[in-house]
Amino acid sequence: MLSRIVLLAQKVPDGRVFALDTQTLISIVIQLLNGIILALALTFILYKPVKEFMNKRTERFQSKLKEAEAAMAKANELIAEYGSKLEALEKERDKILEEARLKASDESMVILEEARREAYEIKKRSMESAEENRKRLKEETRLYIIDLASRIAQKYIAEKMDAETQDRLFDEVVARLEDAKWQN
């Protein structure tokens, strides 16, 4: 091939780089025909495999796209399902909390009622105890006053009364006591 180029270069007249003669035109036509034949041959040879490759590639992309859409739909379903489950759990949690509040409220009412009853019982017992103490103190005070009055009267009588007056008063008291016995 190199020798051919050298030969062609020698045939070119001096001062010309490119000659437009019949040989050059034939060579250009042959090269164009070779290019067209090569393009057609490559089209017939490679078109089907390339087209099949591209179709398979498109189908692969389409199937992956469909799988992705199906996965997305399933994910959306799961999201919706989990959302509804979360909502149900929230409702159940609220229900349990409300039941606990009501139970605590009921228990606090029962505890308060028991505390009121106990306070009333304690108050009642303390009032009864205070009343008993008051009666006891009243009786003790009465007995103390009687004792004190009898001592004072005894001292007064001992100082002011003579034996004759004492005997007369003793007789009167004994007579009254005898009359009192018969009245019962």
Question: What tokens does 139 get?
Answer: 């009786």
Domain limits of the chain? 22-160
List Cα–Cα distances, 43 to 29, 57, 92, in angstroms: 21, 19, 70
How long a stretch of residues is the chain?
184
pLDDT confidence tier of residue 7, bands split at 50, 70 and 90: low
SS3 15: coil
Q: Residue 176 CB: number of other CB atoms within 10 A? A: 10
Structure tokens at 26: 């034939």
Average pLDDT over every residue of 82-91: 92
| pTM of the predicted model over 0.75 | no
Rounded Cα–Cα distance for residues 96 and 93 (Å): 5
Is the pLDDT at 98 greater than 90? The verdict is: yes
Query: What is the spatial distance between Cα 11 and Cα 184, in angstroms, rounded to a whole number?
Result: 183
Q: Which amino acid is at 118?
A: E
Q: Which residue has the tokens 């070779």?
A: 34
pLDDT one-digit tens code per residue, 149-161: 787 777 776 777 6
Average pLDDT, the chain: 83
